[in-house]
Chains A and B, each alone.
Chain A
Amino acid sequence: EAQVTQNPRYLITVTGKKLTVTCSQNMNHEYMSWYRQDPGLGLRQIYYSMNVEVTDKGDVPEGYKVSRKEKRNFPLILESPSPNQTSLYFCASSPEPQGNSPLHFGNGTRLTVT
């Protein structure tokens, strides 16, 4: 089944403890991106990747890192999480970075930082 898989679905951690949220797609998509969703703010892009080894900042990149060593994987890294990073996170991919290329989203990771 074609899908975007995020892990874990739920994560509770403490301030400063490094964590990684994984994202994997099995559709050979070129474009991948990460979003956070907070009440009243909609979806805000954190980082995106146009292809392997090509990543760049979205609207809210502070406090996050990403890597794209393989086409299928795009992990989101929080080196030193803080409570303001408590949020619902989504990974998405599309065949190409083009207007007529719909995004496929994962089911989300709910992160709580205490």
Chain B
Amino acid sequence: LAKTTQPISMDSYEGQEVNITCSHNNIATNDYITWYQQFPSQGPRFIIQGYKTKVTNEVASLFIPADRKSSTLSLPRVSLSDTAVYYCLARSYNTDKLIFGTGTRLQVFP
């Protein structure tokens, strides 16, 4: 099981790009990296997923270097509504147990 480590918190201002890095040193060959966003009193929701290199969707980009021991979630031009907790998860084929990290609390200021 790949354990993940993230910064506990980050601050940013509206309009800036935010990069949140997740460390997963013991990632397995079959692990995918998935990022989730959680607002207060709501369940986490899927943001983006990748295996290696770069993935981009309408809300974020995900960068995974060749050694796959870390990944970086990039949020372009954040707004106040991006204030949330962000979790990364390494999950493999036929994975039963899942271990989430403590997440990164992003605070966006006006």
Which residues of A are in contact with B by a Cβ distance under 8 Å? 4, 33, 35, 40-45, 48, 50, 56, 58-59, 88, 90, 92, 97-108, 110
Contact = CB atoms under 8 A, between A and B. Distances in A.
A41 to B, nearest CB: 7
B92 A48 contact: no
Interface residues of B, number: 29
Interface of B: 30-32, 34, 36, 41-46, 49, 51, 87, 89-103
- Interface SS of chain B: loop
A2 to B, nearest CB: 12
A92 B43 contact: yes
Interface centre among B30, B36, B45, B96 (most CB of A within 10 A): B96
A4 B45 CA distance: 12
Contact of A45 (B30, B46, B98): B98
A50 B87 CA distance: 22
B87 A108 contact: no
B100 A102 contact: no
